[in-house]
Amino acid sequence: MDPAIYVCRYLEASYAAAHPDLTDAARELVRSEIERNPEAYAHEPHAQALVSYARVHARMIAELARMEELPDGEFERQRSRLFDETRLALFKIIETDRSCIDARLLDLLLADVPLDDCLRDLLALEREAREQICCAHDDFDPEAPGLWRGANEDEAAARTLEDPQVIGWLHCVEALSQGSLTSARYRAAGTYAQQVLRARGYANHAEGTLFLALARLEDEDAFFACSRAIGEAAEESPWYLLGRTLLFYKLGRRKNARRALRDFAGRCEGGAFFLLNPTYLTPYLPVRPEVSEAWRRSHQAVWEADGIIADTPDFANWAATVEGVEAASEDFARRRGF
């Protein structure tokens, strides 16, 4: 979740708690003012650390977007410099307030260490964050629907969105899920994804990780049970459509796999292109971001499935032979200038 969203919600909730007599109109005015100038409403150290983190994160994402068209060598040089500058800024935030979980999480993800070492550090941070939240809130329960015992969906959503430590913990869990998928720990990836999916008020596509993990495990019953639980939204998900293709292919049901692949290529803009032309995607910092165009979601799905595709003999070559897939890829490339 973009820190610009949840940090403002936290500041708004803090202001409302200190001014219980606010009218609805006054609260709308405060919301607008906070979005325009959050620093003016960050009066205590934790709020100031959160606002600083939001600024650092926004600058890093904007700089990475600016670098996209650079030649490879220059891209690597500038990205390395940017990450060093970001880690220095994060260090100063963490030094001020270690309860800013997202700053600590992003610092771990930017460290140049092997994936297994990163996952070990993520596990320790997730455990620490979860314990802090449980100590602060008796009704917080990672296994409860919505994460809050006794709360309805709207109450659970509000409490999650207004608590930066809970958002930071969810980011840790989501990062663990994605890291587990990348490192071929598919059952762990699915377990973490299911925990993220329990949250309300926290925008995510953790079902994508779950679909890919279940496809790799060839667990057809669980895959389609997950689809039914999510409902109609699953039918439009590039992770579901690609995962279904991989599942049928791995189960040896080629006719079903061909139909599923054509469905993926036809319904997910750019899906065929990225499947036939693996294209670099900046690693998530800290978790899968929202996208501005539908084809970028297709890119995310194929990028996340890369290890599974590479580990599925002849899948990529087979996909290129399925009628209509290459044409869909070429059409997308022409329209989007790839």
| pLDDT, mean of residues 290-314 | 96
Structure token digits, residue 100: 């800013």
- C-alpha 53, offset from chain centre: 18
What are the C-alpha distances in Å from 306 to residues 54, 209, 214, 246? 30, 12, 15, 11
Residues whose CB falls within 8 Å of the CB of residue 337, separated by 6 or more in sequence, listed in order: none
| pLDDT, mean of residues 279-307 | 96
Other CB atoms within 10 Å distance of the CB of residue 81: 11
What is the band of 263 on the pLDDT scale with cuts at 50, 70, 90?
Answer: very high
| pLDDT, mean of residues 289-305 | 97
Q: Rounded mean pLDDT of the chain?
A: 97
* Res 147: pLDDT: 98
Exposure of 335 in the CB half-sphere (CA atoms within 13 A): 10
pLDDT at 71 over 90: yes
What are the residues facing 199 on neighbouring strands? 146
How many residues belong to the chain? 338
* Res 162: pLDDT: 97
CB burial of residue 264 (10 Å; 0-12, 13-18, 19+): buried
Whether the CB-CB separation of 277 and 270 falls below 8 Å is answered with no
pLDDT at 235 over 90: no
Other CB atoms within 10 Å distance of the CB of residue 123: 13
Residues whose CB falls within 8 Å of the CB of residue 158, separated by 6 or more in sequence, listed in order: 201
What are the residues facing 172 on neighbouring strands? none
Whether the CB-CB separation of 127 and 93 falls below 8 Å is answered with no
211 backbone dihedrals φ, ψ, rounded to 5°: -60, -45
Residues whose CB falls within 8 Å of the CB of residue 139, separated by 6 or more in sequence, listed in order: 148, 149, 150, 151
pLDDT at 165 over 90: yes
298 closest CA partner among 338, 240, 249? 240
Domain residues of the chain, as ranges? 222-338
Whether the CB-CB separation of 225 and 172 falls below 8 Å is answered with no
| pLDDT, mean of residues 12-26 | 96
What is the band of 96 on the pLDDT scale with cuts at 50, 70, 90?
Answer: very high
| pLDDT, mean of residues 166-188 | 98
DSSP 38: G
% helix / strand / coil in the chain, to the nearest 5? 75, 0, 25
